[in-house]
Amino acid sequence: MSGGIANSNRTRAASTILPVADYDLSATLSSGQVFNWEQAEDGSWTGVVAGRWVRLIARPDAIEAQAAELQDDWRWLRTFLQTEVNLTQTLATFPEQDEHLLAAVRACRGLRLLRQNPWECLASFILSSTKQIVQIRQIVRSLCQRYGQPVASGGSDAVANAFPTPARIAALSETDLRACKMGFRAPYLLAAARRVAAGEINLDALAAGSMNETRLQLLRLDGVGEKIADCVLLFAYGYPTAFPVDVWVQRVITKYYFRNRTVRPVRLRRFITEHFGENAGYCQQYLFHYIRTQSGKNLSSRSG
């Protein structure tokens, strides 16, 4: 379509500067949304996005990106990082008069929601159940190193590995997957990969449906319940009201908004919808990251 003449007018480079204010790259990449990013000694982060290795460096009001190869454009990265989102406008939609959420925003300002590939997100969170984030990272890393497509790297390593495709995983055995230490989650991941690879579930087409339609499709998968579905709806499909409730979020909402009294699921859902509003998912990520990094200790069930 676009011929060589058009391309020759464009700047092709292996690095770029993405201007963006209010972006805490480290908080964002370590906040339990993604599990396949590594931070170097110098503070830079490396990962694979849309099949391309990339190094990210936080700059004042910008993110510097270095790829392994020349790039015609950087939409794949801007989409992933969501650099066009105006954080001030998003935060302005948060509920006023919520001292706990305000404290989280003060402590974690610059935390962002990413826009991930649906398969990688779905597979990662199938592997997440009853696992600590550090362990999820280990499993995902192992899965990528063993079965992911090698891609050219600009770092000290010659290659990096993309997240394995549904077809690649579908061709493996449960034993192959258990070698990545994913335990009882192996059959769930394998079955999901096979159904996606067979076209029984089209993750790309789901983006065209409503949030509830997409949720129902995700819930058809064995090993995927409310929480994992909400993670995929929020982190991959970008539905701003999706609100994953894990043990941490359950704990913090019970403590902050219900005086530590037990809350039935229906009531909890109603509160979340009415209180957090149009960007509830963003609120959730701030609360989650806040309690895990700042005041997690006084929320633990042992001291609770």
Task: Give 135 or 149: the residue with its C-beta nearer to DNA.
Answer: 135
Cα–Cα distance between 164 and 185 in angstroms, integer? 16
To DNA, the closest distance from the beta carbon of 60 in angstroms equals 26
Task: Give 32 or 53: the residue with its C-beta nearer to DNA.
Answer: 32
Which position has the token pair 């694979």? 48
* Helix ranges, the chain (H): 4-9, 25-29, 75-81, 87-92, 99-108, 118-126, 133-147, 166-170, 174-178, 186-197, 203-206, 211-219, 226-235, 247-257, 265-276, 280-293
To DNA, the closest distance from the beta carbon of 99 in angstroms equals 20
To DNA, the closest distance from the beta carbon of 282 in angstroms equals 11
The single-letter code of the amino acid at 282 is: Y
Q: In the numeric block, which tokens belong to residue 207?
A: 């983006």
To DNA, the closest distance from the beta carbon of 146 in angstroms equals 14
Q: Which residues contact 284 (CB under 8 A, 6 or more apart)?
A: 234, 243, 244, 249, 276
Task: Give 86 or 132: the residue with its C-beta nearer to DNA.
Answer: 132
To DNA, the closest distance from the beta carbon of 183 in angstroms equals 3
Task: Give 74 or 243: the residue with its C-beta nearer to DNA.
Answer: 243
Q: Which residues contact 12 (CB under 8 A, 6 or more apart)?
A: 70, 71, 72
Task: Give 68 or 231: the residue with its C-beta nearer to DNA.
Answer: 231
Binding site for DNA (CB under 7 A): 31-33, 125, 128-136, 138, 178, 181, 183-184, 221-229, 231, 244-249, 264-265, 284-285, 288, 292, 300-302
